[in-house]
Structure 1
Amino acid sequence: MLKKKDRKACMNTECIWLGIVGFSGIIALLYSAIVTRKILSLSGGTFEMQRIAQAIQEGAQAYLKRQFLTISVVGVILTGFLYQSLGYHVGIGFALGAVLSGISGYAGMSVSVRANARTTHAARSGLAQGLAVAFQAGAITGFLVVGLALLGVTGIFVLLTMLETTERFLLETLVSFGFGASLISIFSRLAGGIFTKGADVGADLVGKIEQGIPEDDPRNPAVIADNVGDNVGDCAGMSADLFETYVVTLVAALQIAFLTIKDSRELMVYPLVVSGICVLSCVLSTYAVRLGKKENIMNALYKGLGTAVVLSLVGLTGVTWMFFGFDRVIYDTVTGGYLVLSGAVGMLVTGLLVWITEFYTSTAHRPVREIANASVTGAATNIICGLAVSMEACFLPALVVCAGILCAYTFAGLFGIALAGSSMLALSGIIIAIDAYGPVTDNAGGIAEMAGLPPSVRNITDTLDAVGNTTKAITKGYAIGSAALASLILFSAYTQELKHFFPDLDINFSLSDPFLITGLFLGGAIPYLFSSMSMKAVGRAGAAIVVEVRRQFAEIKGIMDGSEPPEYGKAVDILTKFSLKAMIVPSLLPVVFPLGVYGVISSGFGQAQAFSALGGVLMGTMITGLFLALSMTSGGGAWDNAKKYIEAGNFGGKGSSAYQASVVGDTVGDPYKDTTGPAMNPFIKIVNLVALMLLAFL
């Protein structure tokens, strides 16, 4: 229980700071509302463009409605279990995290499906106009996500402080809040990824290769499902993913402050305030996104990101000075100046991960062009080169993350690492804006093709979309990099909680311990099992769409000459049913597996051995999950843009044998970059959160 003088301080200085954080969250939501009104006031183009956009919107909403109904069954069961076993605060925290994560995903998708035709119409006026609408639509999603996440964490913090609960009670609630968000995230990422890539694979294999028709051709029965998938996977799934990443990383920072630092109340409020100030910086930075004379879209987006980093560094420095000064020793030998350096490390890591991911996925650089060149000699060499690039793409990000961990730890210990992670996520508003731009431009290109707009418009939307593939890969690399830091902090919290709850057990996590090694092997293997299950699900979904599209081409004779429309709804319905069914078992794997390892080892060998093995599971999952996610997201993005590079007229252009080989490579990369790779991010954190909640339960 807080002491009387601490409660009084909380109601004064602390509440002023938390009020600023709440104000920042409200500003983020107000910004989203204002820009939404602006976007919706724009023209949706011709009647045909609006009709196609309406079909995409209806398909996406119908899918999400069924997805939420499916997830809610699991959510209600888990809420009841947590309520009964760990207390009302854990059950309510879990339910709130799940609901806000779902809202962020639904809201992001709703904006995307309304902005796509408006982006197409804006592209008729030029590249700058198309970029402005697409980016602003992405910014709506970005600031909805960070606004809801920041208000959720801060609201729980303020409410439980006012109720005079203990810090441990507060942290248990916040951990359950993060667990709820993570579980919705993995459901959304996995189901949305299976849907979108099943549609993409099926549409490409039959449409482009067998029938020789262009991408997004309205004669393709899977074309509407493909565009629906862009929204439910790349937008709704991504929004839920970044929401949980933001929440879990921030909660990890608060937890490590409480567990490792005496008189930590001030350091628990500090990361919240830094996050709030950075949200305001990111809002201001959106106005820096402008297309220059060279019409380089990536440079325009980088202007916004660079402005956000500079303003956030200024805000971080100012907040730290007002909290602690720069020379005052806060704990051990750590001063305010060292905290500034730790936060700066997180922002530097963000910039380096963005640059590295762009290098491996942009058409302007060597890796993508190597894959395109390998396509000249066939699909096999394309796939070999793509796999090689995906493996190579792991090394530099790992180097950056390791350097960031060591630097932050040197400056401020474990809290320094936590602060670096939360500083990375403090830039989420602008990062998500850059990412959500991708599905909007992808849909805009599809609408241009299906509505029969002039080639000049499709050229503009293709230019926007090619950059969109890179921006989506950038966000995934950013998310998994931050997940590595968050997982390390969560593992540290696990070791600290063991000392608190089980002080009599002698657990030192030595590599000479066979139970730790057993856990390491099992933890290292489980991401591969998860990857296999999700990849197979995409393969089966794609096969089902191939069969359906072939059936329609064979039975509906007027499709190819345009006299009869395809049955678009059939493909959407097939994918909706399949993806929702296929997501259940893989999504529950990170919940069931650590509990199973603990149960088997504890019943056969003892509790101390089980905790050691569980610690090994956490470490093994974190390491192999990180590399799988990096390899898949970068490799898949490179395969996709290699196809785009050939489409632009290189190595024979559209219709050439190199193009057909690149389509095959792209279909292999699709589940890599949009299903399994991004789903690995919540997978890693759920395993850690389940371990923490298990300790509280025991």
Structure 2
Amino acid sequence: GADIAGKIGNGWNEDDPRNPAVIADNVGDNVGDIAGMGSDLFGSFAGSICAALVCCAQSSDLSQSWNTMLFPLILAAGGLIACVVATGGCLMIFTVKEDKDVESLLKMQLIISSVLCTPLLVVICYYFLPSVGFHVKGKDGVMWWHIAVCCTLGLWSGFVIGEIAEYYTSGTYRPVQRLAVECKTSAATNIIQGLALGYKSCIIPVTLVAVCVYINFSLARFLGISIGAIGILMTLASSLTIDAFGPITDNAGGLAEMCLMPEYVRDRTDVLDAAGNTTAAVGKGFAISSAMLVALGSFGAYAQTKHLFDAPMIGGFQFMGLIFGAVVPYWFFALTMESVGVAAGAMVDEVKRQVDDKKDEKKNGDAIEVPDASEEDCNKCIAIATNASLIEMIAPGSLIVLSPLFVGYMFGAEMLAAFLLGAVVCSATMAVSASNTGGAWDNTKKLVKGGGLEQLLPKGEYDAKLHGKNSEAHHAAIVGDTVGDPLKDTSGPALNIVMKLMAMVALVFAKSIPDTGAIEQLYAKFA
């Protein structure tokens, strides 16, 4: 709403003090990218630990020892300690001398955290798991080093997925640079190439998660998958730190613009913000991959509770469940995008009303300049965003909580299992695509605004009036950024909750869900 009303509606710069929706925009960055992402990642953290504890409790060997029951918690605590050490080490050893060093420092923090966690998790597995082969539900003879391999695979899969997200969203790599070049043609070509970028960016992350799931399941069944999710989240403290970097620098840039500070100050905050957008995409990659493994771990706990190891996934109600499960993320995605559209429309109308009220009648043919927005004006925009976020989430939230219960009680436990698998797979690919597309469009806008096309276009073709700030190419990039904001900040991250919450609801109500649902029983009577 702030972008449409300010940049597109009135031609103002980003964070212009005349725009009353700017404060709501900055508040939204904090709520969504810090509080929201933190809640998402900590929810994954708790969910992975719970799934691992359930799997440990269902093992006749692991449930007998207090040390082995504590193992998932010790693993999580060890990762936190490693991240604190890595953060302190990075700040003492590395310094920022050039613009490019910002992104490198943040990346180095994540690398060191992952390196420190690797030997630490091996030591924890060695001391807290039985030294001889033990039983997990569905497999005998699991060794402590099998669990260490599962955790290590999760840890480094998460790191690689984050690097893939960086490649597709950072302005220093070819995908975003190609989008910037497309902006000189039109906004339409920018949108087309951005969507293609997002779809392409799904391939490697989803393949990595699939390989990780296969190996972990082969080694330790669903306990291995749950431990893999904990492995991804062992670097949670570091990933949250670099994820919060983006909204902090974005707000700093907004303050610089509103306080009319010199241009070089805003240029520096833009450099930091561009690095923050990339790290935010890395954090979203972690969140999506961990959510997928957490959902599969919770699904495994549900499947073990209902004894569904031999349940067929093809045929009858099971195949129908897969299809229904794949539809739900699209339904949820549509509801959240509509919610953003409704809230943005209300915000634009409010800003337009305020601006029209402030414009005095023309004198001598000249319009009086619109004054800066007051605190009361900003509070009205914040109230619109707050009310919309609460009211518009009722329908999507109800869909995710009630749909597993409806499928379970109406069609039975086996169809619910298929339903969950369809939802997890579809949500994962959509979430990766939406997050990377939005992040790429955001950095494309910053690249064009900062004159990045001068290095990308053939020598002699660059013209600041056509390809620089406030040019047609810049306006095309702004359109892409405006479309990408709800993708990367609303609908994409929300699909993480879809995966985890549906599986967790099924696990919580597993004991009460019948093997044969009401509709299935009715069908059997007349078949």
Asked if 1:391 is matched to 2:206, the reply is no
Equivalent residue number for residue 249 of structure 1: 48
Please say if residues 618 and 688 of structure 1, whose CA atoms lie closer than 8 Å, have aligned partners that are also in contact: yes
Asked if 1:271 is matched to 2:68, the reply is no
Equivalent residue number for residue 542 of structure 1: 344
Equivalent residue number for residue 143 of structure 1: none
In 2, the alpha carbon distance for the partners of 1:336 and 1:629 equals 34
Equivalent residue number for residue 442 of structure 2: 640
Please say if residues 358 and 370 of structure 2, whose CA atoms lie closer than 8 Å, have aligned partners that are also in contact: no
In 2, the alpha carbon distance for the partners of 1:649 and 1:333 equals 61
Aligned counterpart for 2:399 among listed residues 582, 589, 598: 589
Please say if residues 355 and 370 of structure 2, whose CA atoms lie closer than 8 Å, have aligned partners that are also in contact: no
Equivalent residue number for residue 315 of structure 2: 513
Please say if residues 219 and 560 of structure 1, whose CA atoms lie closer than 8 Å, have aligned partners that are also in contact: no
* Cα shift at 1:564: 5.3
Equivalent residue number for residue 128 of structure 2: 323
Equivalences for 1:348-363 in 2 at 5 Å?
348-363=156-171
Asked if 1:599 is matched to 2:409, the reply is yes
In 2, the alpha carbon distance for the partners of 1:690 and 1:534 equals 21
In 1, the alpha carbon distance for the partners of 2:432 and 2:155 equals 19
Paired residue type of 1:578: A
1:532-590 residue CA offsets vs partner (Å, 9 max, x unmatched): 00000101111111112222222212797364535222211222222211111111211
Aligned counterpart for 1:655 among listed residues 451, 470, 475: 470
Please say if residues 150 and 215 of structure 2, whose CA atoms lie closer than 8 Å, have aligned partners that are also in contact: yes
CA spacing shift, 1:262–1:323, aligned 2, 3 Å = closer
In angstroms, what is the RMSD of aligned CA positions? Answer: 1.9
* Cα shift at 1:417: 2.1
Q: What runs of 5+ residues in structure 1 fail to find an aligned partner? A: 1-201, 500-505, 602-609
Please say if residues 302 and 506 of structure 2, whose CA atoms lie closer than 8 Å, have aligned partners that are also in contact: yes
Asked if 1:442 is matched to 2:250, the reply is yes
Equivalent residue number for residue 210 of structure 1: 9
In 2, the alpha carbon distance for the partners of 1:560 and 1:274 equals 63
* Cα shift at 1:497: 0.6
In 2, the alpha carbon distance for the partners of 1:671 and 1:638 equals 13
Please say if residues 152 and 228 of structure 2, whose CA atoms lie closer than 8 Å, have aligned partners that are also in contact: yes
* Cα shift at 1:235: 1.5
1:147-177 residue CA offsets vs partner (Å, 9 max, x unmatched): xxxxxxxxxxxxxxxxxxxxxxxxxxxxxxx
Give secondary structure in 2 for the equivalent of 1:333.
strand
Equivalent residue number for residue 291 of structure 1: 95
Equivalent residue number for residue 118 of structure 2: 313
Equivalent residue number for residue 280 of structure 1: 81
Equivalent residue number for residue 379 of structure 2: 569
* Cα shift at 1:244: 0.7
In 1, the alpha carbon distance for the partners of 2:413 and 2:219 equals 30
* Cα shift at 1:260: 4.7
Aligned counterpart for 2:184 among listed residues 363, 376, 395: 376
Asked if 1:456 is matched to 2:456, the reply is no
In 2, the alpha carbon distance for the partners of 1:391 and 1:372 equals 18
1:312-342 residue CA offsets vs partner (Å, 9 max, x unmatched): 11211222232348x6434433322222222
Please say if residues 18 and 370 of structure 2, whose CA atoms lie closer than 8 Å, have aligned partners that are also in contact: yes
Give secondary structure in 2 for the equivalent of 1:549.
helix
In 1, the alpha carbon distance for the partners of 2:152 and 2:368 equals 57
Give secondary structure in 1 for the equivalent of 2:184.
helix
Please say if residues 556 and 564 of structure 1, whose CA atoms lie closer than 8 Å, have aligned partners that are also in contact: no
* Cα shift at 1:267: 3.3
Aligned counterpart for 1:679 among listed residues 488, 491, 494: 494
Asked if 1:621 is matched to 2:426, the reply is no
Please say if residues 253 and 271 of structure 1, whose CA atoms lie closer than 8 Å, have aligned partners that are also in contact: yes
Paired residue type of 2:73: L
Please say if residues 68 and 129 of structure 2, whose CA atoms lie closer than 8 Å, have aligned partners that are also in contact: no
* Cα shift at 1:488: 1.4
CA spacing shift, 1:613–1:381, aligned 2, 3 Å = same
Equivalent residue number for residue 304 of structure 1: 109
In 2, the alpha carbon distance for the partners of 1:666 and 1:672 equals 10
TM-score by length of 2: 0.87
Give secondary structure in 1 for the equivalent of 2:260.
coil
Equivalent residue number for residue 198 of structure 1: none
Equivalent residue number for residue 23 of structure 1: none
Please say if residues 507 and 612 of structure 1, whose CA atoms lie closer than 8 Å, have aligned partners that are also in contact: no
How many residue pairs end up in the alignment? 482
CA spacing shift, 1:436–1:564, aligned 2, 3 Å = closer
Please say if residues 394 and 630 of structure 1, whose CA atoms lie closer than 8 Å, have aligned partners that are also in contact: yes
Equivalences for 1:405-444 in 2 at 5 Å?
405-444=213-252
1:452-474 residue CA offsets vs partner (Å, 9 max, x unmatched): 11112111111111111111111
